[in-house]
Amino acid sequence: MPKQSEFEITKGTLLIANVALQDPNFKRTVVLLCEHNEQGTFGLVLNRPLDLYLPDVLEEFDEWEAPLWLGGPVQTNTLHVLHTIGERIEGSIEVADGVFWGGDYEEIRELIRLKVLDKTNLKFFLGYSGWGAGQLEDEMQSGSWYLAKASQQVVFSEPHDKMWRRVLRAKGGDYAYIANFPEDPRLN
């Protein structure tokens, strides 16, 4: 098992599901941690698109056919956003270098209308991934997750179905080997 000592659980960290993690909510996922403190952890799954588009849940965004992403299994009736222009959107929180979470939705809508924001620098999520105090640390101890530093390139990269493998390969060493494991080892 590769060592995790080079990274800490903190805002801006990527959680990469261990190849053995079979929980259907997190199997082969990459999760961006947006907040981590003594009360718990909040993150968004980056590589689970939904068969829904933004206008399906917000009519006022009807001018943009942006796909929605499943941020996680918690409160799937809530909407979250990641983008790259936090300096122009009030209320945005920088969670990784050049990656911002949240902000004023009216400002976001206007920047979409002006074509400043598009699917290369903006993602909307339904739901989120959450862990109570100490829960994620326990999952790390049991080996459920690998860690990596988040980047704008990873957060907004396509194709989403190759993200898990790409992030592991970028870590190198044993992680690159793990990235090649088949989804169902019985078919190997």
The pTM assigned to this predicted structure is 0.93
**Could you tell me the residue range of the domain that residue 41 belongs to?**
13-187
> Does residue 135 sit within a domain?
yes
* Average pLDDT estimate for 103-116: 92
CA dihedral 53→56→62→63, nearest 10 degrees, is 10
Q: Encoding tokens for residue 155?
A: 């957060």
Q: Using the 8-state DSSP alphabet, how is residue 82 labeled?
A: E
Give me the residue label for tokens 């793990």: 178
134 against 5, higher pLDDT: 134
The count of structural domains within the chain is 1
Q: Using the 8-state DSSP alphabet, how is residue 63 labeled?
A: T
Which CATH number fits the domain that encloses residue 63?
3.40.1740.10
d(CA 106, CA 179): 40
| Residue of 142, 30, 123, 55 whose CA lies nearest to 85 | 123
> Does residue 109 sit within a domain?
yes
d(CA 80, CA 145): 23
pLDDT of residue 123: 96
d(CA 159, CA 36): 28
| Average pLDDT of the chain to the nearest whole number | 92
> Does residue 59 sit within a domain?
yes
pLDDT digits (tens, 9 = 90+) for 110-168: 999 898 988 889 999 999 999 999 999 999 999 999 999 999 999 998 788 999 999 99
pLDDT digits (tens, 9 = 90+) for 17-43: 999 998 999 999 999 999 999 999 999
Residue 70 binned pLDDT confidence (cut-offs 50, 70, 90):
very high
Residue 177: how many CB atoms within 10 A of its CB?
Answer: 12
> Does residue 113 sit within a domain?
yes
d(CA 101, CA 89): 10
pLDDT of residue 59: 87
Residue 61 binned pLDDT confidence (cut-offs 50, 70, 90):
confident
> Does residue 8 sit within a domain?
no
pLDDT of residue 10: 96
